[in-house]
Structures are given as C-alpha cells and as structure tokens.
A = this chain, B = another copy of it.
C-alpha cells in the first residue's frame, strides 16, 4: 500500500501548488522535488487560480501571513475544489495571533480541505481546546486522538496531528505512526515540508487515510535514515541528508531503520 502510493508519486510527479511561508519555500521545494513531486510556489492573487488549475494539489500554509496572501489562498483553494484536486491546510501558528485565527476561519469558510495538518496546539485551537504553545511550536499532548477526531468531524476532513506519535483520522477510523526522529524538530520547516509531501500523496489514487499514513510514515523513515548516517553530526548536516533520504526508495529507508 505505502509502496504503491510512493511509486505513483514518482511516476506521475504531481505538480503541487505551494502557497506557503517565506521561511520554508526553498526547503519545501527541494524536499518535495527529492520526494518525487513537482513544486510550484506562486503566491500572487492574479495567477492563483490559473496555477491551481494546472496543478494536481494545493497546499495552504499560513506560516508568514499577510492580507494579500489570504486572498490568494482562498482563490487557489476554491479553484482546487472546483477541479476536484486535494487541498491541504497547515494552520501554522493559528493560535498565536488574531490575524492567523481569522485568516484560517476565512479560508475554512470558503475552501473545503481534503486534509488539515498541524501540531497538537494548532489543531486543538481549531476545535476550541486550549493547549500550551510556544510561538509556532507546541508541546506534546495525551489528547492527540481526541483533537484529531474533533477536527476531522468539525471540518469534514482528514485531520493529522503531528508529534512524537502522528495521529490521523477521518472522523471514524484512526491510525497512528511512530516513525521519525527528534532532529526533525530542529529543522525549520520540517512540518511545512511534510504538508507538501502529504499533498503529493493525496493526489494519488487511493483513500486519504492510507495516503496520509504513507506520507507521515515515509517522512519519518527518511528522518531515521538521515539521522543514522555517520556524517550527520547536528541539525545542519541532518537537513542535507534528510533531503537525500526523501529521494530514496522505501526499501532503502526500511533497511536503515531496522
């Protein structure tokens, strides 16, 4: 299952329209390219719809938001809904400021997400639960299952809470994933890039639950592979080897984590 979805991404090289934050654009583009997708990062309102219609999936990430970008995100998201391609929303730092909270509400009111993905603090905020957060990061929680299920039901979407254990739910079924490595949390944009890779996986044939599980499992295995390299000695060398690992076959990654 996982293998089929990865193979399909690499065969089709889905074009993913990334409306994402300025901090991670380069890392997200390189990571998605390594994984097998084809990134396009356009943010202008004027060509948001045109690019979304060329694409196989749209990622909306509110990490460095400005008013003009909210409009582009809504335009691209609606175009994606019309075309029937997946839309992933990553509500980065949604609990931190009024601008972000309102921007998410405006986007969610007009765009039907295929998946909403974030850390526990961010997704908890979307369903009115309060969780200690620090800037755009959050602490781990015991309530990830509940948060995930509530987000899935409230927004009629797939919900993914990432953390030491990733939890995925469509509101009924629930899957968890434990691949990954602590160094991912030391690389800026690791969560954001996962959003791009998730969007690519959601553009394949199959069910969202399996596609999302494939994305987070593969991502975590790649992190484990990179962390196991003798040349990796900190977050800087880890990041380069992690990009390498995202380009590998599943068999190469599974061998390294055993």
- Indicate if the CB atoms of A235 and B239 lie closer than 8 Å: no
**With A39-B188, A41-B64 in contact, do A237 and B233 touch (Cβ < 8 Å)?**
no
A164 CB, nearest partner CB in chain B, Å: 18
A54 interface residue (CB < 8 Å to B): yes
Closest to A66 in B: B44
Instruction: Check if B236 sits within 8 Å of A96, measured CB to CB.
Output: no
A 21-74 contacts with B by CB, 8 A: 21-27, 29-30, 33-34, 38-44, 46-47, 50-51, 54-55, 63-68
Residue of B nearest to A245 (CB): B234
Say yes or no: B234 contacts A34, CB within 8 Å. Answer: yes
Complex contacts, A66 vs chain B, CB 8 Å: 43-44, 68
Q: Is the CB of B244 within 8 A of A240?
A: no
Question: What is the size, in residues, of chain A's interface with B at 8 Å between Cβ atoms?
Answer: 62
Cα(A70)–Cα(B202), bound, Å: 35
Q: Is A165 an interface residue (CB 8 A)?
A: no
Question: Whole-angstrom distance between the alpha carbons of A65 and B67 in the complex?
Answer: 17
Contact between chains at B50 and A235 (CB < 8 Å)? no
Selected from B24, B41, B44, B51, the residue in CB contact (under 8 A) with A67 is: B44
Could you list 19 A-B pairs, sorted by A, with CB under 8 Å? A21-B41, A22-B41, A25-B64, A26-B189, A30-B188, A41-B64, A43-B64, A46-B99, A47-B98, A50-B98, A54-B135, A234-B244, A234-B248, A236-B239, A236-B244, A237-B241, A239-B240, A239-B243, A240-B240
Residues of A in contact with B (beta carbons under 8 Å apart): 13, 15, 21-27, 29-30, 33-34, 38-44, 46-47, 50-51, 54-55, 63-68, 93, 96-100, 134-137, 186-189, 231, 233-237, 239-248
The 10 A-B pairs of least Cβ separation, nearest first, read: A234-B244, A236-B243, A47-B97, A29-B188, A236-B240, A47-B99, A40-B135, A46-B99, A50-B97, A236-B244
